[in-house]
Amino acid sequence: MKRLLLLLSISVLTACGGSPPDALSEEDLALADPSWPETLPAANDGYPDLGDPCRLLGEAEATRPFMDEGAELVGCRDPRDAAMIDGARVVGEVEGITIVSVALPPPPPEVIEDPDAAEPAARLIACTGRGIEGAARCTVTVDQLQDGTSQLNIQFDNGNRRTLYFEGTSLVGADSSEADGSAAFVLDGRRDFDRTIVSYGPERFVIPHSLLPSGPVMRGQPTPLPAPPVDPLAALPPSE
């Protein structure tokens, strides 16, 4: 009935020498299309692109049997148009309109952290530092960062902490803070056979290379000779 009234209104305006009002929307024109059944609520902008002959369908009594949460329901007057839609699957026909189901792309996988994943194993290393008399043992865990750097998380017996960074078996950095004075510390690392002896202000650490992944061997560069054995917790002379 709505279509009929709309068509009559357009006819009367034309007969009187007028033109259809600008207020007529594309939706009104779509509703005035007698070839589209009222039982199939449809968007009027084309599917999959604007102006295409097929239409995205909404939920109604006629479409409900074909609805799927993981797919869009599309109606096409011509089955050949339906066959041109990627991933379309014909599921039925209503009043001459071919109904196809078009699967929606799957959602991105949800990343779920494994609560049972093993944490890095803790090791003990020789160390000394502020508030510690003589040689001591520190607990260290190693995290592999995305850029390949090894992050050594070190904790002293008195609760103080230090973080060292290695690329392969080469010392490349340490954390620092104005609060504990470490911002003024000088970082130094000396190889001693299969370990690196780290000096950082008043702190000393003996880092076995077994904690670290081996770095790549650069062709054309001779392997440096190891330094002679030294007391790992003795004060180190400044680097040249």
Residue 187 has a pLDDT of: 93
pTM of this structure: 0.43
List, as one string, the DSSP characters of the chain: -HHHHHHHHHHHHHHTT----TT--HHHHHHT-TTS-TTS-B-SS-BSSTT-SBEEB---TTTGGG--TTEEEEEESSHHHHHTSTTEEEEEEETTEEEEEEEPPPPPPPP---TTPPPPPPEEEEEE-TT--S-EEEEEEEEE-TTS-EEEEEE-TTS-EEEEEEETTEEEEE---TTTTGGGPPEEEEE-SSEEEEEETTEEEEEEGGGSPPPPPPTTSPPPPPPPP--TTSPPPPP-
- pLDDT reported for residue 150: 93
Q: What is the pLDDT of residue 26?
A: 46
Per-residue pLDDT tens digits for 33-75: 566 888 888 876 788 888 888 988 888 888 889 888 788 889 9
Average pLDDT, the chain: 75
Q: For the chain, which residues score pLDDT lower than 70? A: 1-35, 44, 107-120, 134, 214-240
Q: Which pLDDT belongs to residue 152?
A: 95
How much is the pLDDT for 136? Answer: 80
